[in-house]
Amino acid sequence: MRLFRFGAVGQEKPGALDRSGRMRDMSLLIPDWTPEWMAPERLKALQAIDLDKLPLVAEGTRIGAPLAGIRQFVAIGLNYRQHAMEAGMEIPREPVVFNKAITCIAGPNDTVELPPDSVEGDWEVELGIIIGSKAQKVGEAEALSHVAGYVLANDVSEREWQAKRNGQWGKGKSFDGFGPIGPWLVTTDELADPQNVPLTLTVNGQVRQKSNTSDMIFPVAYIVSYLSRFMTLLPGDLVITGTPQGVGLGMKPPVFLRRGDVMTLDGGVLGTQRQQVV
């Protein structure tokens, strides 16, 4: 299934795409898409609903982040070889792990507001993982059974704050609006292989990133297993898995976001995003 949330900020309702790709309102049946709805048995039960009988969502309605109540936002850095090289960093021997604040989560088409003193705003298209069941010290072979689905994500970053302000990476990655996700949460029955997802990002119509998750250094199953050794992953947790080459920092000379720029992202079955920088 492809689940989404729609409506004004803070007033989102749950929805799902029907077989024809039309947006259906599920709020008469379900209060909201929250972590408990990510459980395998609940997702399986949803498949019995005849979506064609539910109301259509009006065109032009705002689409929000596809899941409410995300508890933690974990990120993997330098997970594509070419991206590590363009950043001038060694290929990691183990996943690089950092956190983004959950308050940075935004809808896929919401504006991205740069901090007033931002000079190095940057883009990062990524595959995001939504955890469906508690994962604690799980093996790589069973790791994907703990995944509810996947989302398209933009790990918006302020490079000066990330690298030059005497702090961990999260300092430059947690501003409000720096975590657009969606439009859809695509459950694993529709995306069985997370290592074959195309990822494209353009800025003002120019392609900056174009790759595929097959190029990851550490695949999704390894990431879930690895993280579960150090932390307990809970239903509804969001993990983004790294970005391919083509970020502004890696260009020669570097190119950073300016107010008025428009970022567009495409993740195949994961859908598309569009954000204007303000």
Over residues 112-168, the pLDDT tens digits come to 999 988 999 999 999 999 999 999 999 999 999 999 999 999 999 999 989 888 878
CATH code at position 268:
3.90.850.10
Domain-located, residue 59: no
Tokens of 171: 């300092």
SS3 content of the chain, % helix, strand, coil (to 5): 20, 30, 50
Domain-located, residue 201: yes
Average pLDDT over residues 49-77: 97
Which residues constitute the domain of residue 94? 68-276
Domain-located, residue 5: no
Domain-located, residue 105: yes
Q: Where are the alpha helices (DSSP H) in 14-166?
A: 40-46, 81-86, 140-143, 159-163
Burial group, residue 15, by CB count within 10 angstroms (0-12, 13-18, 19+): buried
Domain-located, residue 74: yes
Name the domain count of the chain: 1
Is there a contact between 264 and 100 (Cβ–Cβ < 8 Å)?
A: no
Burial pattern 131-167, b for ≥16 Cβ within 10 A else e, equals bbbebeebeeeebbebbbbbbbbbbbbbbbbbbeeee
Domain-located, residue 55: no
pTM greater than 0.85: yes
Over residues 20-50, the pLDDT tens digits come to 999 999 999 999 999 999 999 999 999 999 9
Domain-located, residue 29: no
Q: Is 137 left (phi over 0), alpha (psi -120 to 50) or beta?
A: left
Mean predicted lDDT score pLDDT of the chain: 96
